[in-house]
Amino acid sequence: MRSAGWLLVGSWACVGAGRAAAQAAPAERRLTLADAVYLAAQAAPAVEAATYRVDEAEARVRETRADLLPAVTATAGYVNRSATLASTGFSFPPGLPFSLPALIGPYDNVDGRLRVSQTLFDYANWRHLEAAHVGVEGSAAERAASVQTATRAAAAAYLRAVRTASLLGARQADADIAAELVSLAEAQLQAGVSAPLDVTRARTQLAAARAALIVARNQRQKADIDLALALGADPGTTYVLADTLTGDLGASAASADTARALPLALARRPDLLAEESRGRHADIERGAILAERLPRLDLAADFGPNGRTPENTLNTRTIALQVTIPFLDGFRRSARSAEQAATAHESGVRSRELRRQIAAQVRAALLDIASGAEEHEVAAQRLALAAEELSEARERFASGVAGNIELINAQASLNQARDAEIDARYTTAAAQVSLAYATGVADTVH
């Protein structure tokens, strides 16, 4: 009975451990490159923060517009007051036939006011409002730039993950070949046509292949972590990659023609649009500051009951038209105007430099695409030759014509050829992503 009880406890512990392991197991998700780009454009932390900055800019527009809209306030109050005539400035000459008390009151006063004010003319504020609208455009362009950066990072992380998956497959194939060569060397040794040294070499090669497989598996798992961070997801997520390093991976709406790609980049790059918006914002703000020297016209009115008690109040009103003409503010406007002028000039310098950088990025990406295609063609030929070399070396070893040193060398050549072919395909795909970013269409990568 006691042993049965312990067996029951052990079984429940195993079940509990299994459930805990299932709960702790990382989530698994199938993902394409287009999915990764879409998720980054929607949920990347940088994009989310940039979205809030657009909301802030729109709120500043409403805040600036408020100075041009009517303002309405209502007040009500009750006062019990006493005062001295002397404190109010009243004095009477001596010898008058009457006398007034030195203290007046206390007396009550009830007052209710409804006040309305409206700016009739304020050109400076209209210019400030125009600048605020340009600020919204700039914030939207900055958000678009964040989208481009986030999608580029996500696409690059996805390509690295696909590359590590391809390398993991290559290392698995290497290990399988090494295991076959060990079996072949052992068979040759038993047949008496091979030396023990050949078996030792084959086993050494198998151990090296297994070690490389462990490293490749670790790199594959770390690539998932980097991909999750780029997507703003849980780092424990495991991704099942739906794409492979094919020739069209990383394609986008970008043109591979320099004559078409460069004008597209200059028209679409959101970071350039954001910088130009900053320059326009500074110019408009400078004009608004200069317009603050113009007169301002305001209208104000109030209406409400006033009296000693609520029962005996009378309605009173005030209407005022006010003109404000600024003359001197300690040269503060001049300093603010100079600051905005310097900001506009600085933005112009950055815009010119950014145009040069965009042109360089487009040309560099196109060069990488062209060279990547050539590298892939050469790597594919090298891979085919390396596979043929391994086949011939296996036949020579199996027939007892040569030792397995040629076979091991051929296997090493095949490993290097596989890696070169994978790297060539990765380089081409990464160059296509770089071209998409350079032309401002990284969110169309697929």
pLDDT in tens, 272-284: 999 999 999 999 9
Distance, C-alpha 213 to centroid of its chain: 35
Window from 2-6, 230-234, 398-402, 423-427 with minimum mean pLDDT: 2-6
When pLDDT is cut at 50, 70 and 90, the band that residue 99 belongs to is low
For 128-144, what is the mean pLDDT?
Answer: 94
Distance, C-alpha 11 to centroid of its chain: 49
Contact 411, 178 (CB under 8 A): yes
Position 13 scores a pLDDT of 38
Residues 6+ apart with CB under 8 A from 27: 234, 236, 237, 238
Output 54 or 237, whichever has higher pLDDT. Answer: 54
Whether 407 has a pLDDT exceeding 90, the answer reads no
Q: Three-class SS of residue 25?
A: coil
State how far the Cα of 187 lies from the Cα of 404, in Å rounded to an integer: 13
End-to-end CA distance of the chain: 64
Whether 17 has a pLDDT exceeding 50, the answer reads no
Rg (CA), the chain: 40
List the chain domain ranges.
28-76+121-294+332-444
Position 133 scores a pLDDT of 95
When pLDDT is cut at 50, 70 and 90, the band that residue 18 belongs to is very low
Output 188 or 91, whichever has higher pLDDT. Answer: 188
Position 36 scores a pLDDT of 93
Contact 108, 272 (CB under 8 A): no
State how far the Cα of 209 lies from the Cα of 202, in Å rounded to an integer: 10
Whether 312 has a pLDDT exceeding 50, the answer reads yes
In a 13 Å sphere around the CA of 25, the CA atoms on its Cβ side amount to 9
Cα–Cα–Cα angle for 104, 106, 110, rounded to 5 degrees: 115
Quote the mean pLDDT of the chain: 86
In a 13 Å sphere around the CA of 163, the CA atoms on its Cβ side amount to 23
Q: How many CB atoms neighbour CB 40 within 10 A?
A: 29
Window from 65-79, 104-118, 143-157 with minimum mean pLDDT: 104-118
State how far the Cα of 359 lies from the Cα of 364, in Å rounded to an integer: 9
Output 105 or 354, whichever has higher pLDDT. Answer: 354
Smallest Cα–Cα separation from 401: which of 257, 243, 194, 207?
194
The highest-level CATH class for domain 28-76+121-294+332-444 is mainly alpha
pTM assigned to the model: 0.81
Whether 255 has a pLDDT exceeding 90, the answer reads no
For 104-118, what is the mean pLDDT?
Answer: 88
State how far the Cα of 110 lies from the Cα of 77, in Å rounded to an integer: 6
Whether 4 has a pLDDT exceeding 50, the answer reads no
State how far the Cα of 387 lies from the Cα of 255, in Å rounded to an integer: 36
Instruction: With both helix axes pointing from N to C terminus, report the angle between 404-438 and 196-231 in degrees, rounded to the nearest 10.
Output: 10
